[in-house]
Amino acid sequence: MKIVIINYGAGNIQSIKFAIQRLGFEAVLTNDVHEILAADKVIFPGVGEASSAMHKLRASGLDTLVPKLKQPVLGICLGMQLMCNSTEEGHTDGLGIFDVAVVKFSNQVKVPQIGWNQIQDLKSELFEGISEDEYIYLVHSFYAPICKETIATSNYDVTYSAALQKDNFYGTQFHPEKSSSVGEKILLNFLKMK
């Protein structure tokens, strides 16, 4: 199986690569269009600020490639947010895969949310074998509100989308590579998808 982690200069890619290695697989870090198209699974990570990450995607032409991919694609953290229509962070247009606009948490809570939180309302093969109220690891100041593509929720100030899915595209607000055995199982579920 060929697993590609898109390397566009805005991701915590080594920790994802190591998590995949712990599961017994190898992943290639690349921004090469042909390698990405030839992959069986694509992971689209993201750490940092949305507008600069989107600028890097556009500069490499990956902003037009990613929405056209046909194999299973997993966006992680900022990667998931960039797959949405837009984000308030830097007033940035996203890739428009998920039909939702990312917004900032209110001033009623400490941002970013850092640490462990529970996931509920699990609705996808991505969460096969995962129980309601399991703990996952998050670091974020912005969130995707509940929408028709929500496949898991979490709560911090408001109930929001912890994960999204549309067709072959999946996104997790949390970091599966930092979410202990629960995150490893979610990554394995993704890697097993047809």
| Catalytic choice (134, 140, 177, 184) | 177
89 secondary structure, DSSP code: T
Q: Which amino acid is present at 177?
A: E
- The distance from CA 41 to its chain's CA centroid, rounded to whole angstroms, is 13
DSSP secondary structure, 33-73, as one string: HHHHHH-SEEEE---S-HHHHHHHHHHTTHHHHGGG--S-E
**Strand positions, DSSP E, the chain:** 3-6, 27-30, 41-44, 73-76, 84-87, 92-93, 98-104, 113-118, 135-140, 142-145, 150-156, 158-166, 169-172
| Catalytic choice (77, 89, 140, 149) | 77
| Catalytic choice (84, 89, 149, 175) | 175
Look up 84 and say whether it is catalytic.
no
End-to-end CA distance of the chain, in Å? 11
The burial class, CB within 10 Å (0-12 / 13-18 / 19+), for 18 is exposed
Positive or negative, the CA dihedral 8, 12, 14, 20 is: negative
Distance from C-alpha of 119 to C-alpha of 116, rounded to nearest angstrom: 10
Catalytic residue numbers read: 77, 175, 177
